């Protein structure tokens, strides 16, 4: 029985920072942001928004567009790394909001938890819920997985231009209209790392930028090796002489902390996959230099990063590799369309890869690609760290969903904020909950947070604006 993503809906906050304004304020070349990072507009939340109301807004859209009632949903998981409470799960806030629309107690029959593992937890949530349905524990009901986050870094840091905010809600069902997951090939890797983490009570993460970039590449590649081994063993993919398994994956969606990271991940993966194939000769001919190797190929990430001679040579090789005809063709066919949303919204942590997947569906369809039967490979990464690689096949009925996709329309009219307004929102000064910049319409917003010294400390109240 095929199980997978039947439909998805997105919510993106209506405020954004224009990256030209940002570059000017920080004294950065705007080209660096547009081409070096891959960002033009960064979505930011208003004073009366948090990850729970973004999650509820995405879920309400998903339910309305599919005519779903709470009784149709047996499980709701919310994956986030922007948790609001050390104990109370974000889905309980979300259910509280949805019950304002569907009636008190209307979700009581359902179950679910909040999931955390940096940006990868949404993928674990999808996997667990797909298996809940495969195990026929679902009683004919669907599952909803919502990924929702606010990517917020310190002002003035080199990560500040990789912020963003938004949520994606996915409907998981048997016989899905959009994408059926491939079975038995999902592969994970997990280790204890401090590449990016946010200690209790701290609003912004501690980031080891270059370390996190390299770790991401290595972890996804290792999970991919395990995926490959399973895909061949179970006969999901049959390799002929000279072929790479990536030749059999039509679209690739990876975690996108920023768009350029997706391109780098694809380059890293293809170098790994093509290195021992006949086509590598053509690559080397075009690149014009041999691929460098680190002084200690079995070294740690620290020792590789400290090997500055290798790092410099490798960066040069990577950049030349990314200009070869073979890389360019693979990038254009498999990944380019998944980066379009990231450019307009920014980092969504847990939601980044799924916004990228949605972006690739819409923009591939718009450029006339027949998506029926196409295999999508997912490379999900969460700092700390874990990677999950899995795949799925686009179903014959995909057009029902994809033909109606319109990113700009679904985001809605947005308002550019000035750098002063952005910094005020970032620092949480100058505005109260009722002094939002945008006047929300037909969405959930936050109206009250119980004061720290009161009996209702941490209690959050939301309302659906009309
Ligand atoms: N024009 C065009 N490009 C330019 C340029 C210009 N004028 N100036 C610089 N660039 C390019 C650089 O060449 C570089 O390109 P490559 O990546 O292809 O080499 C790119 O812009 C980035 O520039 P820097 O190498 O100088 O990097 P930076 O100091 O701006 O920092 C970062 C980048 C490390 C990603 C930083 O933003 C950061 O720490 N971000 C947060 C951590 C992160 O996102 N890590 C990703 C992996 S971990 C993860 O994915 C989990 C998660 O969600 C956080």
Can you give the three-state secondary structure of 301-329, one letter per residue? HHHHHHCHHHHHHHHHHHHHHCCCHHHHH
Q: Model confidence over 376-409: pLDDT tens digits?
A: 999 999 999 999 999 999 999 999 999 999 999 9
Q: Are 151 and 346 in contact (CB under 8 A)?
A: yes
Based on the residue annotation, tell me whether 309 is a catalytic residue of this protein: no
Please provide residue 40's backbone torsions phi and psi, each rounded to the nearest 5 degrees: -120, -35
Pick the residue whose CA is nearest to atom 44 on ligand 1: 257
From the CA of 195, give the closest atom in ligand 1: 48
Pick the residue whose CA is nearest to atom 24 on ligand 1: 36
Q: Model confidence over 350-383: pLDDT tens digits?
A: 999 999 999 999 999 999 999 999 999 999 999 9
Q: What's the confidence (pLDDT) of residue 6?
A: 98
Based on the residue annotation, tell me whether 81 is a catalytic residue of this protein: yes
Helix (H, G, I), strand (E, B) or coil at 2: coil
Q: What's the confidence (pLDDT) of residue 81?
A: 98
Helix (H, G, I), strand (E, B) or coil at 439: coil
**Residue 361 neighbours by CB distance under 10 Å:** 26
* pLDDT at 297 > cutoff 90: no
Compute the radius of gyration of the chain from its Cα atoms: 22
Average pLDDT over residues 131-151: 98
Q: What mean pLDDT, rounded, does the chain reach?
A: 97
Pick the residue whose CA is nearest to atom 6 on ligand 1: 32
* pLDDT at 153 > cutoff 90: yes
Residues 134 and 124: their CA atoms lie apart, in Å, by 15
Q: Which residues line ligand 1 (CB under 6 A)?
A: 29, 31-32, 35-37, 118-119, 158-159, 162, 195-196, 207, 209-210, 212-213, 216, 255, 257, 260-261, 315, 349, 381, 383
Q: In which band, very low, low, confident or very high, does the pLDDT at 452 lie, cut at 50, 70 and 90?
A: confident
Could you list the beta-strand ranges (E) of 19-153. Answer: 41-44, 73-79, 114-115, 142-151
Residues in contact with 241: Cβ distance below 8 Å, sequence separation at least 6, in sequence order? none
Average pLDDT over residues 241-268: 98
Q: Are 167 and 148 in contact (CB under 8 A)?
A: yes
Based on the residue annotation, tell me whether 426 is a catalytic residue of this protein: no
- In sign, the C-alpha dihedral spanning 51, 56, 59, 61 is negative
* pLDDT at 320 > cutoff 90: yes
C-alpha 379 to ligand 1 mean position (Å): 19
Q: In which band, very low, low, confident or very high, does the pLDDT at 298 lie, cut at 50, 70 and 90?
A: confident
* pLDDT at 143 > cutoff 90: yes
Average pLDDT over residues 260-265: 98
The overall longest dimension of the chain from CA atoms, in Å, is 70
C-alpha 36 to ligand 1 mean position (Å): 7
């Amino acid at each position: 029985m095929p199980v997978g993503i039947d439909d998805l809906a997105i919510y993106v906050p209506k405020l954004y920072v224009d990256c030209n304004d940002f570059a000017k304020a920080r004294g950065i070349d705007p080209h660096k942001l547009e081409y070096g990072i891959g960002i033009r507009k960064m979505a930011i939340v208003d004073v009366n928004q948090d990850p729970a109301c973004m999650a509820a807004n995405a879920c309400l859209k998903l339910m309305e567009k599919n005519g779903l009632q709470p009784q149709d949903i047996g499980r709701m998981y919310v994956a986030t790394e922007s948790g609001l409470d050390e104990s109370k799960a974000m889905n309980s806030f979300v259910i509280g909001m949805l019950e304002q629309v569907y009636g008190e107690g209307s979700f009581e029959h359902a179950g679910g938890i909040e999931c955390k593992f940096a940006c990868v937890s949404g993928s674990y949530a999808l996997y667990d819920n797909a298996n809940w349905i495969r195990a026929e524990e679902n009683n004919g009901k669907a599952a909803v997985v919502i990924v929702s986050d606010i990517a917020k870094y310190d002002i003035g840091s080199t990560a500040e231009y990789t912020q963003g905010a938004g949520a994606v809600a996915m409907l998981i069902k048997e016989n899905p209209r959009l994408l059926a997951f491939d079975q038995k090939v999902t592969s994970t890797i997990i280790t204890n790392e401090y590449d990016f983490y946010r200690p209790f009570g701290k609003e912004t993460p501690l980031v080891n930028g270059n370390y996190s970039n390299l770790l991401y590449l290595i972890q996804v590649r290792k999970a991919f090796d395990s995926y490959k081994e399973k895909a061949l063993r179970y006969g999901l993919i049959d390799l002929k002489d000279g072929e790479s398994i990536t030749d059999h994956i039509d679209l690739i969606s990876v975690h996108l902390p920023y768009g350029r990271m997706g391109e780098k991940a694809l380059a890293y993966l293809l170098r790994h996959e093509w290195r021992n194939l006949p086509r590598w000769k053509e690559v080397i001919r075009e690149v014009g230099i041999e691929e460098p190797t680190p002084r200690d190929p079995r070294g740690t990430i620290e020792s590789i990063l400290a090997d500055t001679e290798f790092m410099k040579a490798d960066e040069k090789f990577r950049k030349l590799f990314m200009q070869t005809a073979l890389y360019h063709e693979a990038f254009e066919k498999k990944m380019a369309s998944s980066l379009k949303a990231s450019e307009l919204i920014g980092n969504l942590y847990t939601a980044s890869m799924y916004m990228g997947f949605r972006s690739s569906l819409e923009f591939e369809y718009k450029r006339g690609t027949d998506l029926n039967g196409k295999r999508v490979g997912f490379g999900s990464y969460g700092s700390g760290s874990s990677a999950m690689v899995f795949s799925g096949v686009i179903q014959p009925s995909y057009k029902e969903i994809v033909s109606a996709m319109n990113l700009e329309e679904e985001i809605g009219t947005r308002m550019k904020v000035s750098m002063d307004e952005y910094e005020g929102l970032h620092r949480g000064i100058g505005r109260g909950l009722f002094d939002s910049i945008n006047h929300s319409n037909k969405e959930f917003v936050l109206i009250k947070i119980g004061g720290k010294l009161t009996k209702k400390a941490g209690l959050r109240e939301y309302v659906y604006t009309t």
